[in-house]
């Protein structure tokens, strides 16, 4: 989960930006907005945002000064500038300051989403490198938790690496490597194991048919489900239910990476 700070002294602008981000990104937490330089510095110091969205035109000080002060103790923060200043000097200044994007107001929300997407991808690639180097950061841990939470909430739906890549705003290759190195098994193995454990719980606790359970845990073809279950468990679903109903306690796979 990436933390994003909006710096703007216009309440309507703050609300519109936050609504757009919440509607478009499930892996971004929008922090309480800041209206002044001091509020921005205080929130940044306490809540450590990874993305800074700053409207520079109506602040009480130069918005670039606020950016520089925040970067002093958050050097990896990704910055997006919002402004009415459509001139070469301002754009050149922004680029020299290393901002992710320079967006003109009134905001084109498609452009905003693209800029935020670039920011998230940049942060995710750093997190992947941290995981591959066996030094996962807090951001990397939050990101794998976001992926695991999504799997745990949607395991009965069609999920693949493309689904996860879209959620995390990262390509499939990165998601695959990131997941395997963080969790210790590849995505398909984890999803299959989680579904089988959920099936065990249903076999143990309910009178649902094998076909019903198959559909409940995400397998349309009950014959395929039964073969997969036997391969993983060593018994058919019917044999498992007969032996363990009311007595077996399945493994709890809802363990969050830490």
Distances 147 to 152, 160, 252 between C-alpha atoms, Å: 9, 11, 17
93 within 8 A of 64, measured Cβ to Cβ: yes
**Tell me, what's the pLDDT at 257?**
45
218 within 8 A of 158, measured Cβ to Cβ: yes
Least confident piece of the model among 114-128, 158-172, 186-200, 202-216: 114-128
Query: What percent of the chain is modeled with pLDDT above 90?
Result: 36
Top pLDDT among 186 and 101 is at 186
Question: In order of start, what are the domains of the chain with their CATH numbers?
Answer: 2-124 (3.40.50.2300), 136-258 (1.10.10.60)
Distances 66 to 238, 251, 253 between C-alpha atoms, Å: 65, 50, 44
Average pLDDT estimate for 188-205: 90
Residue 206: other Cβ atoms inside 10 A: 13
**Long-range interactions of 123-128: CB distance < 8 A, separation 24+:** 123/2, 123/50, 123/51, 123/76, 123/78, 124/168, 124/169, 124/170, 124/174, 124/178, 125/170, 125/174, 126/76, 127/178, 128/174, 128/177, 128/178
Residue 193: other Cβ atoms inside 10 A: 14
- Rounded to two decimals, what is the model's pTM? 0.62
Top pLDDT among 131 and 50 is at 50
**Tell me, what's the pLDDT at 250?**
47
Distances 1 to 90, 138, 245 between C-alpha atoms, Å: 31, 10, 39
Torsion of CA 121, 11, 109, 87, to 10 degrees: -90
Give the residue from 100, 53, 63 showing the smallest Cα distance to 85: 63
User: Edge-to-edge strand order for the sheet containing 78-83?
Assistant: 28-30, 2-7, 51-55, 78-83, 101-104
What's the helix, strand, coil split of the chain in %, to 5? 60, 10, 30
Confidence of residue 225 (pLDDT cuts 50, 70, 90): very high
């Amino acid at each position: 989960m990436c933390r994003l700070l909006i710096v703007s002294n216009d309440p309507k602008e703050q609300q519109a930006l936050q609504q757009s981000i919440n509607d478009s990104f499930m892996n971004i937490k929008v922090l309480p907005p800041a209206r002044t330089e001091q509020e921005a510095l205080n929130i940044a110091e306490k809540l450590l945002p990874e993305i800074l969205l700053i409207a520079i035109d109506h602040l009480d000080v130069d918005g670039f000064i606020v950016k520089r002060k925040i970067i002093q103790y958050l050097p990896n923060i990704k910055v997006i500038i919002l402004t009415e200043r459509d001139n070469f000097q301002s754009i050149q200044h922004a680029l020299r300051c290393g901002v992710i994007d320079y967006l003109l107001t009134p905001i084109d929300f498609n452009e905003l989403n693209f800029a935020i997407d670039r920011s998230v991808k940049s942060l995710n690639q750093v997190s992947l490198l941290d995981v591959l180097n066996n030094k996962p950061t807090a951001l990397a841990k939050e990101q794998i938790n976001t992926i695991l939470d999504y799997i745990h909430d949607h395991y009965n739906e069609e999920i693949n690496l493309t689904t996860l890549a879209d959620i995390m705003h990262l390509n499939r290759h990165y998601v695959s490597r990131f997941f395997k190195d963080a969790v210790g098994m590849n995505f398909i193995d984890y999803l299959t194991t989680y579904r089988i454990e959920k099936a065990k719980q249903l076999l143990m606790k309910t009178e649902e048919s094998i076909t019903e359970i198959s559909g409940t845990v995400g397998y349309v073809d009950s014959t395929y489900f039964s073969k997969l279950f036997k391969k993983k468990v060593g018994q058919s679903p019917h044999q498992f239910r007969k032996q363990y109903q009311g007595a077996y306690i399945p493994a709890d796979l809802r363990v969050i990476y830490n």
